[in-house]
Amino acid sequence: MSSEKSILSRFWQASDEDSQLRLQTIVRLRWLAVLGQLAVIGVVALVLEFRLPVGWCLFLTACSAWLNVFLAVKFPARHRLSARLATALLGYDIVQLAALLFFTGGVQNPFTMLLVVPVTVSAATLPPRHTVALAFLASVATLLIATTSYPLPWYPSEPLDHPVLYDLGIVAAVISTMLFMALYARRLTREGKLMSAALTATELVLAREQKLHALDGLAAAAAHELGTPLSTIVLVTKEMQAGLPKDSLLAEDVELLRQQALRCREILQKLTKHPTEQDPLHGNISLQEMLEEASAPYANDGKPIHIFVHPASGMTGTAQDQPLSARKPGVLYGLGNLIENAVDFARGRVDLTGEWDQTTVSVTLTDDGPGFAPEIIDTLGEPYVTSRPMSARKTTGKAGGLGLGFFIAKTLLERSGARVTLENKLAPQRGAVVRLVWPLDAFEAGAERAGPGTAVPRPQLRPAAIEVYDR
C-alpha cells in the first residue's frame, strides 16, 4: 500500500500548506464584481437619480479593475497562487467592498451580504488559518460600517433611519452566514479531496492487480512456448551423450547442459500447474474457486476458514452446476480484503458461504469476533472510516488502519455489480456478517462456458487450513 500512503501524505501536506486557487479564477470573479458594481452605480445614480459619492465609488471600482490588469500582466493565466498571495487578494476584495458599502449606506445597503463571498472562497481553497484571518477581517469591516458610514442613497422625502439594534442584527446575520458558509464549503471541499485521494488509491490497487494478472498469463504463455525447445535440447544432448566416448572431454559439459535444460523444464511445469496461472482469454473461475483463491493467502494465520458452496434453499443441483465468472482481479482483491479483516478479528473461525439460485449469486462472510461497532457500522465503506483503532496492533499484530482497505474493497466489489451489506449476528451470538449479492448476469459477465449450466472445477492447491463443504 506504499503508493496509497504516498498519495495520502501528499494530500495532507497540500491541504495544510498550498492554495487550490488559480489566478484565472480569482481574476474572473473580480471582473464579475467590477461589472456588477458599475451596473449598480449606474442604476442608482442615473436611473433612480439618488445622491451618492459617485467619484469615490468609481475610484474604488477602478482600483479593482487595475489590479486585475496588473495580475494578468504579471502572472500567466493558469498560475496557481500561493496561500499568502491568495489571502492578500481576498483580503483586498473585503476591504474594497467594505469601502464601497461605507460610501453607500453601510450595513443598510442590501449588498452587505457580499462580504461573505471572499471568506467562502477562502474556506474552499485555502488552509483554515487563512480563512480565520479573512473571516476576522470581514467581521471587523462589518462592525465598522455598521457604526459609521455615509447615508444610504434614498428618496430625500422618505429618509430611512434604522434603529441601532436593527443594524446590529444585520451584523449578526452577516457574521453567522459567513461562518455557516465557510464551514459548509470547507466540509464539502475536504470530503471531495478525501474521496478523490481514496479513488486514486483504488485505481492504483486495481492497476497493480491487473498487472499481476497479466504477468500470470505471460508466465503461462512462456511455459507453453519454451516447452518444445527445451524438450528438443534434452533430446539432442541425450543423443550427443550416446555418441561421445566415455573419456571425452565434452561428456561432462553435455551432461551439465542436459541437467540445466531438465531443470528449466521442471520450473515451467510448476508454473503451468499453479492454479492461478491461466490464459487471460480463458480465465474462467467458479464460485468455489473464487472463494478458495481469495482465502488462500490468509489460511495460515492460525484461524481455520470453512467454505460452504451449495445451491440456495429450494434449488437442486451439485458443485458441477455452480456459476462461472471471469477471473476479475478487482473482485478477488476486494473479497480477499474482507476475508483478511474477518481473520484478524475472529477468535476461532471464519465461515464463507457461497450460494446461487436462478437470478442471484451470494457470498456470506461471518466470523466469531466482536462484530462491527454500532457507531460506525452505517459509515463503514466510506474512506478513512475504520473499526481498527491504533491499539489494534496489540490484538491483531497490525497497525491501526486508515479505512482505505475496506473502502477499496467495497468500491471494487460494487463495481463488479455486487451489493454489499454489513450487520452483526443476533444476540447471544457474536461476530460480524458481510453479505455480497450479485445478479447472476453480472457475476457471469465475461465468462466462457463449455455448455449451458456446466462448470468444470479445476484442481486446487488448497491449504490445509481451508476446508470446503458442499451439500
Q: Find the helix packing angle between 116-125 and 164-243, rounded to 10°.
A: 20
In this structure, are strands 305-311 and 284-286 parallel, antiparallel, or unpaired? unpaired
So what's the pLDDT on residue 112?
92
CB neighbours of 81 closer than 8 A, spacing ≥ 6?
Answer: 19, 21, 22, 23, 26, 89
Specify the range with the lowest mean pLDDT, choosing from 3-12, 149-158, 287-296, 415-424: 3-12
**Is the four-CA dihedral 390, 392, 393, 397 of positive or negative sign?**
negative
**Statement: residue 471 has pLDDT above 70:** no
What confidence tens digit (pLDDT) does each residue in 82-97 have? 888 999 999 999 999 9
So what's the pLDDT on residue 30?
92
Does residue 80 lie within any of the structural domains?
Answer: yes
So what's the pLDDT on residue 300?
78
Give mean pLDDT, residues 358-376. 88
The letter for the amino acid at 103 is F
Three state DSSP letters for 310-378: EECCCCCCCHHHCCEEECCHHHHHHHHHHHHHHHHHCCCCEEEEEEECCCEEEEEEEECCCCCCCCCCC
Instruction: Decide which of 457 and 128 is more confident.
Output: 128
Does residue 198 lie within any of the structural domains?
Answer: no
User: What CA–CA distance (Å, rounded) separates 91 from 102?
Assistant: 16
The DSSP letter of residue 44 is I
Q: Are residues 287 and 276 in the same domain?
A: no
Would you call 435 helix, strand, or coil by DSSP? strand
In this structure, are strands 350-356 and 305-311 parallel, antiparallel, or unpaired? parallel
Per the omega criterion (within 30 degrees of 0), is the bond before 428 cis? yes
What percent of the chain is modeled with pLDDT above 70?
75
User: Which residue range is the domain that position 264 belongs to?
Assistant: 212-280
User: What CA–CA distance (Å, rounded) separates 125 from 356?
Assistant: 50
397: left (phi over 0), alpha (psi -120 to 50) or beta: left
Give mean pLDDT, residues 28-52. 92
Comparing CA positions, the residue from 164, 167, 165, 196 lying closest to residue 101 is 167
| Count of all residues that appear for the chain in the document | 471
Give mean pLDDT, residues 342-362. 90
CB neighbours of 9 closer than 8 A, spacing ≥ 6?
Answer: none
Q: Are residues 432 and 289 in the same domain?
A: yes
CB neighbours of 468 closer than 8 A, spacing ≥ 6?
Answer: 288, 292, 307, 308, 309, 462
Does residue 431 lie within any of the structural domains?
Answer: yes
Domain count, the chain: 3
Q: Are residues 314 and 270 in the same domain?
A: no
Does residue 361 lie within any of the structural domains?
Answer: yes
Among the candidates 144, 162, 180, a domain finishes at 162
pLDDT bucket at 270, cuts 50 / 70 / 90: low
CATH number, domain containing residue 413: 3.30.565.10
So what's the pLDDT on residue 36?
93
Query: Per residue in 314-344, is it b (16+ CB within 10 Å) or e — as a string?
Result: eeeeebeebbbbbbbbbbbbbbbbbbbbbbb
The DSSP letter of residue 107 is G
Q: Are residues 240 and 287 in the same domain?
A: no
**Statement: residue 296 has pLDDT above 70:** yes
So what's the pLDDT on residue 333?
85
pLDDT bucket at 210, cuts 50 / 70 / 90: low
Q: Are residues 304 and 396 in the same domain?
A: yes
pLDDT bucket at 317, cuts 50 / 70 / 90: low
Instruction: Decide which of 175 and 77 is more confident.
Output: 175
φ, ψ of residue 337 in degrees (nearest 5): -65, -40
What confidence tens digit (pLDDT) does each residue in 11-30 have? 444 444 556 678 888 898 89
Give mean pLDDT, residues 349-377. 89
Does residue 172 lie within any of the structural domains?
Answer: no
What confidence tens digit (pLDDT) does each residue in 170-208 have? 999 999 999 999 888 888 877 777 777 767 776 776 666
What confidence tens digit (pLDDT) does each residue in 212-237 have? 566 555 666 666 677 778 888 888 88
pLDDT bucket at 64, cuts 50 / 70 / 90: very high
Does residue 249 lie within any of the structural domains?
Answer: yes
Q: Are residues 273 and 301 in the same domain?
A: no
Residue 288 contacts residue 462 (beta carbons within 8 Å) = no
End-to-end CA distance of the chain: 39
Give mean pLDDT, residues 267-274. 62
Q: Are residues 35 and 158 in the same domain?
A: yes
User: What CA–CA distance (Å, rounded) separates 62 from 67?
Assistant: 8
Give mean pLDDT, residues 456-461. 42
Specify the range with the lowest mean pLDDT, choosing from 155-159, 194-198, 339-343, 464-468: 464-468
pLDDT bucket at 392, cuts 50 / 70 / 90: very low
Q: Are residues 24 and 146 in the same domain?
A: yes
Among the candidates 162, 191, 225, a domain finishes at 162
pLDDT bucket at 448, cuts 50 / 70 / 90: low
User: What CA–CA distance (Å, rounded) separates 316 from 311?
Assistant: 7
So what's the pLDDT on residue 208?
63
User: What CA–CA distance (Å, rounded) separates 160 from 154?
Assistant: 8
**Statement: residue 402 has pLDDT above 60:** no
Q: Are residues 270 and 414 in the same domain?
A: no
Q: Are residues 253 and 156 in the same domain?
A: no
So what's the pLDDT on residue 452?
40
Does residue 177 lie within any of the structural domains?
Answer: no
CB atoms within 10 A of CB 33: 21
Does residue 392 lie within any of the structural domains?
Answer: yes
Among the candidates 280, 307, 332, a domain finishes at 280
Q: Are residues 331 and 419 in the same domain?
A: yes
**Statement: residue 464 has pLDDT above 50:** no
Residue 40 contacts residue 240 (beta carbons within 8 Å) = no
**Statement: residue 277 has pLDDT above 90:** no
Comparing CA positions, the residue from 83, 155, 91 lying closest to residue 125 is 83
What pTM did the predictor assign? Answer: 0.50
Q: Are residues 91 and 147 in the same domain?
A: yes
Question: How far is CA 120 from its chain centroid?
Answer: 25
**Radius of gyration, CA atoms only, the chain:** 35
